[in-house]
Amino acid sequence: MNKPTLVILAAGLASRYGSAKQVDGFGPNGERIIDYSIFDAIKAGFGKVVFVIREEYQEVMKDLFEDKLRGKIELAYAFQDFDLTKFGIDKVIERQKPWGTAHAVMSAAEHIDGPFCVINADDFYGYDAFKKMADFLTTEVSDKKMALVGFRVGNTLSDFGYVSRGVCQVDENGHMLSVTERTNIYRGKDGQIVYKEDEQEYPLEDATPVSMNFWGFHPIVLDVAKAGFPNFVAQNQDNPKAEYFIPSIPDNMVHDGTADFKLIPTDAQWFGVTYPEDKPYVMAQLAKLVEQGAYPQALFSAE
């Protein structure tokens, strides 16, 4: 079987962070979080990386990655933009941002020809997550069986504001019953984790599994997403903030019985940068991992 593909979502506008955090430096030598993800993916057995970006970032990404990854892993670039005609929608809808993470994955379809994993560019997931997903994508995945890596919500918060997470319900066998995108999760003053919806707060237990957009898919997901997209656009064409989120696709497939999603637990350490104030913590954690020998001082020159 061919090696699985890694799709990295890097087209976000970083509205809360304030700059292009996907290419900001965090490691001891200015390494980006995305560098560590690719390093782990190569080690775990992935054979191709597809960057989903805005087209104007292509030359920047090539300058950052082409030379150091040459001969190590195949690279491709997909563009997330506002052109709906490529998805069979004959409309021009004015928006400040594209249509969300599921739309981003659909934008990469021409570069995907087998099992693939989707991650965020600005999240650090750790090698264990990549290894478990690579093993799943090479031995278990099918058009009826897919997966996500689940993290404890209590380990995925920021001290500096709210975060968005796909909150998962699973059965006793670790299979997903539902995943619901919650866009306003934080720890309250009493220490209780809550999510806010319609100005109401709802509690979440620390151990509640959440999706950090670390999904393992069969290509059939692309067809399902494309089939549902025109209806989503029609229903939300007047809502400039509406987004077609990845979790909605697996959630629908689980509920209509067309696929089963396995929740893969990981002990890997997650951290990310939602706000500028998160950066010192991330830098300290990466420095610690390098000191412990989990990563070399110079990622790719050491291979």
Q: What is the CATH number of the domain that holds 94?
A: 3.90.550.10
Stretch 222-242: mean pLDDT: 92
Asked if the structure places residue 206 within a domain, the reply is no
Residue 174 lies in a domain: no
Residue 55 domain flag: yes
pTM for this model (two decimals): 0.88
Long-range CB contacts (within 8 A, 24+) of 162-169: 162/186, 162/196, 163/274, 165/210, 165/211, 165/212, 166/210, 166/211, 166/212, 166/213, 166/245, 166/246, 166/247, 167/195, 167/204, 167/208, 167/210, 167/211, 168/208, 168/209, 168/210, 168/211, 168/263
Paired strand residues for 145: 142, 260
Domain encompassing residue 86: 5-145+211-245+258-291
Residues 149-165: tens digit of each pLDDT: 998 898 888 888 888 88
Residue 227 in domain: yes
Strand pairing class (48-53; 74-79):
parallel
176 part of a folded domain: no
Residue-averaged pLDDT of the chain: 89
> What is the count of structural domains for the chain?
1
> Exposed, middle or buried: residue 219 (CB in 10 Å: 0-12, 13-18, 19+)?
middle
**How many Cα atoms within 13 Å fall on the side-chain side of residue 200?**
2
Is the separation of the CB atoms in 6 and 46 below 8 Å?
yes
Residue 96, domain member (yes or no): yes
**pLDDT value of residue 14:** 45
The two three-digit tokens of residue 216, written as one number: 């393992």
Residue-level length of the chain: 303
State residue 50's pLDDT score: 97
Over residues 155-184, mean pLDDT: 88
Average pLDDT over residues 249-254: 91
Q: Which secondary structure element, helix H or strand E, spans residue 229, and what is its range?
A: helix 220-236
Percent of the chain topping pLDDT 90: 56
Residue 69 in any domain: the answer is yes
- Looking at the domain assignment, is residue 22 inside a domain? yes
